[in-house]
Structure formats: C-alpha cells, structure tokens
C-alpha cells in the first residue's frame, strides 16, 4: 500500500476520485428529492439546477487539482531519484 499526503492508494484505487464520484451521485439524488413541485415558484428549478451544477463543477476542479498534485509528486520523486 502506497501512501501519499492526502490520499490513500490500494492497488491503484484512487479513493479521492471514488469519493468525488460518490459526492456527484449524492448531488443528483438530493436534487431528485428537492425538485420543485408544480406549484413552486418558477425560479426554484433553475436555482436548484445551478446549485447542483456548481457543486459538481467544484468537485471537478478539486479532482483536477488532486491530479495535478499527484503528477507533481511523481515528477519530484523521479527528479529526486535522478539526483
């Protein structure tokens, strides 16, 4: 089992990635429950969709930052081995 700061890898499983996918699924499930009823004001549905979209976008940004950090760690480790 390899350990890097902030993540746990077991046989190549990216637990942080799985966590983000789980969070995205939860956004959709909560969105289904929160979907406005027909008598709700017209602005409720667009605001709910915007909130869901920004939550998912935020997770995508954090996961990209995670991948960038992992790439930089691998690059630094390779450079350290060369020195």
The reported pLDDT for the residue numbered 1 is 44
Average model confidence (pLDDT) across the chain: 90
What's the pTM? Answer: 0.75
| pLDDT confidence band for 12 (50 / 70 / 90) | confident
Q: C-alpha distances in angstroms, 44 versus 25, 34, 37, 48, 51?
A: 21, 10, 9, 6, 10
Please, what's the largest Cα pairwise distance for the chain? 68
| Residue extents of the structural domains in the chain | 14-82
Token pair, residue 48, equals 């709910």
Share of the chain above pLDDT 90, in %: 81
Instruction: State mean pLDDT over 1-16.
Output: 65
Taking only the tens place, the pLDDT of each residue in 21-52 is 999 999 999 999 999 999 999 999 999 999 99
């Amino acid at each position: 089992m390899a350990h890097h700061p902030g993540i746990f890898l077991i046989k190549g499983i990216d637990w942080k990635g799985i966590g983000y996918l789980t969070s995205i699924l939860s956004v959709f499930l909560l969105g289904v429950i929160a979907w406005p009823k027909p008598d709700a004001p017209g602005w409720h549905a667009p605001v709910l969709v915007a909130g869901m979209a920004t939550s998912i976008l935020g997770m995508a940004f954090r996961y990209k930052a995670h991948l960038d950090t992992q790439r930089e760690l691998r690059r630094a480790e390779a450079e350290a081995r060369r020195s």
